[in-house]
Structure 1
Amino acid sequence: MLNALSPLTDRRTFVGLTAATFGALTLASCGSSSDAEVDAGSQDVGAMDGFEADQQFTATEPLKISILWTDWPEQPVTETWKVFDHIKELTGVELELTHVPFSDNVEKRSLLISAGDAPTIIPLIYRGDETPFVSSGAILPMSDYVEHMPNFRKYVEEWDLTDMVENLKQADGKYYMLPGLQEVWVPSFSLIIRKDVWEKAGVGIPGTWEEVHEGLQAIKETYPDSLPLADGFEGQSLINYGGYAFNTRAGWGFGDGMIGGQDGDPLRYAATTDEYKGMVEYYRALVADGLLDPETLTAANDGSGAGGVAEKFAQETCFAASGSSGTLIEFAQALDQTVGAGNYELQLIPPPAGPGGNIMGPRNFWHGFMLSSTIAESENFLAVLQFLDWLYYAPQAREMLRWGIEGETYTTAEDGAITLAKGYSLDSFDLNTGKGTDINKDLGFSTFLSEATESRQLKESYNSAEFTEYIDGVLTNLEPMPPWSPAPLEEAELEQASLMATPLKDAVDTATLQFILGQRDIGEWDAFLGELEASGLPNYVELINGARDRFVDKS
């Protein structure tokens, strides 16, 4: 059975310059960012001399650094958590937590930044989250200071991420967040199948969406009362990874809605393209043939097993669904209660290929952090940069944040294999479940901080052999789409873009679901395009293309 990528994986997905990001603009302070770069090297109290990559950071004077901490209901910080004490033992840095609940962490974060009350470290930041705060000067232009971060620079180069980092730049040519770095990138979400049922139906593991359709039809013949394919994430997951196979973007991956531009041609709005229409027609056919459960296209993952899909797996009315390796565990636990452990086989398969080819979404970053600009006034500025460089990018820190204390909570073999020590478990990843102290819930390791940057070896260390096979399958069979063409907006354009992007995206989401469910005939597609035109689409496309042209001219 596959182990879980992360408790967070099911909660946050690919993020571009979305309507949600634009919406935070109303909470951001107004003003102008400063062009004055601070000499961090001269504000070096507590910093190490000659700090280098892969070196243990230890502050030369004790430091206290504030950090914004997102609380998950299932991961409450307790007095037994050792992670913060261990960080202090290793580095001399005491982290002071400002707590925000997961349920409204984005809003609370925005309010703190706008009021000037944000902690120094603002983590759990995805690309685009920083944009609303750039013009106010509330956050630090990190590109001015990466010269003091040798681990970040080393792994950006080694993992061939330089061009992606360059695409983080805002309209002023600087980037204001540092992302988590992944040595290998595979989609967190894809199709989970009951492999034994698919093989029994004589179709095997599907490699294309056409084969998915054929396999679902064969299964339907054996299980006529089933609706064999499900989503469970309000329809946003299935069309996300499925959309890329049609050479478009949709669902969670819709972002600002713009595609193309890599060859110098103008950007286009994805929902107006023939490729998007082809994707919609494909899923509409699945619903019409009784192969895709329409109920699961409106069901959110509210903790009931991917929007109730786990129960459908358990009752053997569903045999394929969207999900991550964490979702797979939910399905397996449900099947254990009905079919029985050992009587089924689940597999997370690489995203199927489609008319657009053997492609997946663009290689992406994981979440990282931004810094409150007030740190630039601190005598400890350089020490803070060195500490974060170690915490977020040094291999020994990444291993510690995931596994805990070597020799106590885990051991490392000569070949690098990591094993939890006797008496410890990591229940969220199905490791020694229930057999001792949970290093996550009881000690505070393997939280969101552990996810951001990972080598392939570290990623595989807490996942199963099946997940390694998934990685191999993705990297062998699929190519990432080219990265989305950057089109950073200037301050005056941001609110304008927000006012246009939000109703357009709402209209696309509503119509896409209506077409797929058959509530709206595909013959009305041209009418739908006309509705987008009337909602200001031409002006929006012109605005984004203008920003794109400006970015290219400055590059």
Structure 2
Amino acid sequence: MGMAASLLLAANILGACTKSDEAAERSENANKVNAEGMPIVDDKIQVDGFAAKFFASQDWNDLMLWKEYEKMTNIEVDWSTVQTEALAEKRNLTLTSGDYPEVYFASAFSKTDLIKYGQQGIFLPLNDYIDEYAPNFKKLLDEYPSVKQGVTMADGNIYGFPTIYDPKFEALRAEAPWVKQEWLDKLGMKEPETTEDFYELLKAIKNDDPNGNGQQDEMAWGGGYGIDEFIAYLRGSFGLNKQGSMNITLDFKEGTEDFRFVPTTDEYKELVTYLNKLYSEGLINKDVFTVTPQEFTADSSKGNYGVLNSIDPAELLKLDGYVGMPVLEGPSGERSYNTVSNGLGNLGMFVITDKAENPEAMVRWMDYFYGDEGTKMFFMGFEGTTYEEDADGKFKYLDTITDNPDGLNMDQAISQYLTWPGGYYPGIVKQKFFQGAESKENSRANAEKVKPFRIKDDDILPGLNFTVEENDQVSAIMTDINTYVEESTAAFITGKQDLSKWDDYVKTIEKMGVDQYLEIAQGAYDRMKEN
């Protein structure tokens, strides 16, 4: 990156300084906040909060989770909630109208919003509050420097509490597709070791009648969340994204710390060519670009797929006998699983605004959910009401949750008490307290199979954080480029665009300004290293 550009970026940062760059001022109520233990405040306080919820029937003001937490903390949150589908519109309206709350919970603010409203002084910088009032969260930042880098905006401030997926929870980080072991046995084939082995297996599944019914009704490899799932599994086999998936279109040129644009690399072309071969021979579900997850779940539950992109089919589809796929060696000898994050989810899941009268108390209030007791309460609920603990110290939901007498599924049943279903929440997801499919034995075994080939944590880059000005530039450049890449990738894989046109595709992306994006991204990375 040129010196002039570096100076320009520095000027952008300095020029954007506002009151958010100053050390946090203690509120007039700070001395009323207990440094540790419960309650957080001796005299009850009321706080107005805005939140996204998954189930329309929930009234958060009467929900057991928040009523019990109010008793513990002496903090009553008056909740205004919207369903997740309407979140963006309603959340943004509160800000543009100026009628915004003291805190936003489960509100999924983007990085762009965090830096924008942070520098306007609407979102409070949390750094000093975290140091003094958030021991659980601070411990995580100290333990995982990459997470700390990821939550720190370009101006050096932290404006939001994020979702964190415990980096020790392997099944949430790297899980391969699933293959039907019975069909491998009937075909007399071993688990594939290479991408070529995998191709031969998929052909055999499609053509050699492993279900033994005399019909060619078997499907080879299927998924219900688009082609990105297929690409994700194969990135490491084709030498892509050796710095992880937090910046999915970027990785380093070999032997350097200089970015290249992944979708224009020779390796990406090779991966797309491989998928084109599978798709053209009917080895990937033909409706992969259009099918909804619900439609694919209904189709795959018939048991006609040999390989599935899914959480454990035994949990999701009630189909036993699937085992985790190996990580495959690619045509150049690469064998790695690289679609891995540092465990950091959405950064803006809890923010405190300049209207907060008790910011210190609310930082303590939020911090509880980054420790074990708060995590257990948030995900498991209340002993004797929603869960029980066995003699080995393991937690499990009561039968009234997992086999509800009123016919509710587990999400519906637990949502009578808790808010986590739907996936919108700040806090940390730990295997010990999470009862989803990823915590079950088969998923743990799948993850352990992947682990020896998973890129090392030290190699994973956190997501890049841009200044307000850089965000505007990146958005202007990358909105059209990302759309073009997505459409072109689909066209190459389906054969609607011949791969002989690859060079034209690359030149088009260059004309669209990708080099400028790479320069901005490189500056953000260099700045992160310096900080």
For structure 2, which runs of at least 5 residues remain unmatched after alignment? 1-15, 210-215
Aligned mates of 1:66, 1:144 — CA distance in 2: 23
Aligned mates of 2:277, 2:363 — CA distance in 1: 53
TM-score scaled to structure 1, two decimals? 0.79
Alignment partner, residue 4 of structure 1: none
Moved more, 359-368 or 502-511: 359-368
Alignment partner, residue 373 of structure 1: 353
Residue 432 (structure 1) shift: 12
Aligned mates of 2:239, 2:128 — CA distance in 1: 36
Q: 1:253 to 1:75 in 2, by over 3 A?
A: farther
Q: Which AA in structure 1 matches 2:273? A: E
Q: Which AA in structure 2 matches 1:154? A: K
Aligned mates of 2:410, 2:504 — CA distance in 1: 60
Q: Which AA in structure 1 matches 2:280? A: A
Aligned mates of 1:254, 1:153 — CA distance in 2: 22
Q: Does 1:69 align with 2:55?
A: no
Q: 1:455 to 1:472 in 2, by over 3 A?
A: same
Instruction: State which of 17, 33, 36 in structure 1 corresponds to 2:22.
Output: 36
Q: Which AA in structure 2 matches 1:400? A: M
Q: 1:322 to 1:111 in 2, by over 3 A?
A: farther
Alignment partner, residue 17 of structure 1: none
Q: 1:398 to 1:346 in 2, by over 3 A?
A: same
- Asked if structure 2 preserves the Cα contact closer than 8 Å seen for 1:139 and 1:370, the reply is no
Aligned mates of 2:419, 2:94 — CA distance in 1: 26
Alignment partner, residue 380 of structure 2: 403
Q: 1:177 to 1:352 in 2, by over 3 A?
A: farther
Aligned mates of 1:512, 1:431 — CA distance in 2: 47
Instruction: State which of 335, 340, 344 in structure 2 corresponds to 1:357.
Output: 335
Alignment partner, residue 237 of structure 1: 229
Q: Which AA in structure 1 matches 2:25? A: D
Residue 405 (structure 1) shift: 1.0
Aligned mates of 2:482, 2:409 — CA distance in 1: 47
Aligned mates of 2:286, 2:274 — CA distance in 1: 14
Instruction: State which of 352, 364, 381 in structure 2 corresponds to 1:386.
Output: 364
Q: 1:125 to 1:110 in 2, by over 3 A?
A: same
- Asked if structure 2 preserves the Cα contact closer than 8 Å seen for 1:58 and 1:91, the reply is yes
Aligned mates of 2:326, 2:107 — CA distance in 1: 27
Root-mean-square deviation over aligned CA pairs? 3.5
Q: 1:102 to 1:500 in 2, by over 3 A?
A: same
Residue 529 (structure 1) shift: 0.3
Aligned mates of 2:238, 2:411 — CA distance in 1: 46
Q: 1:445 to 1:139 in 2, by over 3 A?
A: closer
Q: 1:248 to 1:439 in 2, by over 3 A?
A: same
Alignment partner, residue 156 of structure 2: 173
Residue 532 (structure 1) shift: 0.6
Q: 1:421 to 1:541 in 2, by over 3 A?
A: closer
Alignment partner, residue 98 of structure 2: 116
Residue 515 (structure 1) shift: 0.5
- Asked if structure 1 preserves the Cα contact closer than 8 Å seen for 2:219 and 2:304, the reply is yes
Aligned mates of 2:447, 2:109 — CA distance in 1: 22
Q: Does 1:292 align with 2:275?
A: no
- Asked if structure 2 preserves the Cα contact closer than 8 Å seen for 1:418 and 1:461, the reply is no
Alignment partner, residue 162 of structure 1: 145
Instruction: State which of 81, 91, 103 in structure 1 corresponds to 2:85.
Output: 103
- Asked if structure 1 preserves the Cα contact closer than 8 Å seen for 2:127 and 2:158, the reply is yes
Alignment partner, residue 120 of structure 2: 136
- Which deviations, in whole Å up to 9, do the C-alpha atoms of 1:58-106 show, x marking residues without a partner? 4322122333322325774478732221211222222222222222423
Q: Does 1:311 align with 2:293?
A: no
- Which deviations, in whole Å up to 9, do the C-alpha atoms of 1:13-50 show, x marking residues without a partner? xxxxxxxxxxxxxxxxx99563222233764254113x
For structure 1, which runs of at least 5 residues remain unmatched after alignment? 1-29, 336-343
- Asked if structure 1 preserves the Cα contact closer than 8 Å seen for 2:240 and 2:267, the reply is yes
Query: Secondary structure in 1 aligned to 2:199?
Result: helix
- The equivalences for 1:175-190 within 5 A come to 175-181=158-164, 182-184=166-168, 185=170, 186-187=172-173, 190=176
Alignment partner, residue 523 of structure 2: 546
Query: Secondary structure in 2 aligned to 1:297?
Result: coil
How many residue pairs match? The answer is 496
Residue 227 (structure 1) shift: 3.5
Aligned mates of 2:163, 2:118 — CA distance in 1: 20
Q: Does 1:346 align with 2:322?
A: yes
Q: Does 1:88 align with 2:70?
A: yes
- Asked if structure 2 preserves the Cα contact closer than 8 Å seen for 1:112 and 1:118, the reply is yes
Q: Which AA in structure 1 matches 2:180? A: R
Q: Does 1:213 align with 2:199?
A: yes
- Asked if structure 2 preserves the Cα contact closer than 8 Å seen for 1:68 and 1:121, the reply is yes
Aligned mates of 1:417, 1:58 — CA distance in 2: 29
Query: Secondary structure in 1 aligned to 2:388?
Result: strand
Q: 1:126 to 1:455 in 2, by over 3 A?
A: farther
Instruction: State which of 450, 469, 477 in structure 2 corresponds to 1:500.
Output: 477
Instruction: State which of 180, 186, 196 in structure 2 corresponds to 1:200.
Output: 186
Q: 1:546 to 1:467 in 2, by over 3 A?
A: closer
Q: Which AA in structure 2 matches 1:291? A: L
Instruction: State which of 416, 426, 436 in structure 1 corresponds to 2:393.
Output: 416
Q: Which AA in structure 2 matches 1:442? A: Q
Residue 455 (structure 1) shift: 3.1
Query: Secondary structure in 2 aligned to 1:122?
Result: strand
Q: Which AA in structure 2 matches 1:389? A: D
TM-score scaled to structure 2, two decimals? 0.82
Query: Secondary structure in 1 aligned to 2:365?
Result: helix
Residue 272 (structure 1) shift: 1.3
Q: 1:526 to 1:436 in 2, by over 3 A?
A: closer
Instruction: State which of 320, 323, 328 in structure 1 corresponds to 2:310.
Output: 323
Moved more, 346-355 or 79-88: 346-355
Query: Secondary structure in 2 aligned to 1:70?
Result: strand
Q: Which AA in structure 1 matches 2:517? A: Y
Identity %: 18
Q: Does 1:260 align with 2:252?
A: yes
Moved more, 196-205 or 30-39: 30-39
Residue 195 (structure 1) shift: 3.2
Q: 1:284 to 1:470 in 2, by over 3 A?
A: same
- Asked if structure 1 preserves the Cα contact closer than 8 Å seen for 2:279 and 2:493, the reply is yes
- Which deviations, in whole Å up to 9, do the C-alpha atoms of 1:102-122 show, x marking residues without a partner? 224234323323433333133
- The equivalences for 1:436-447 within 5 A come to 439-444=413-418, 446-447=420-421
Alignment partner, residue 3 of structure 2: none
Q: Which AA in structure 2 matches 1:200? A: K
Q: Does 1:274 align with 2:285?
A: no
Residue 132 (structure 1) shift: 4.4
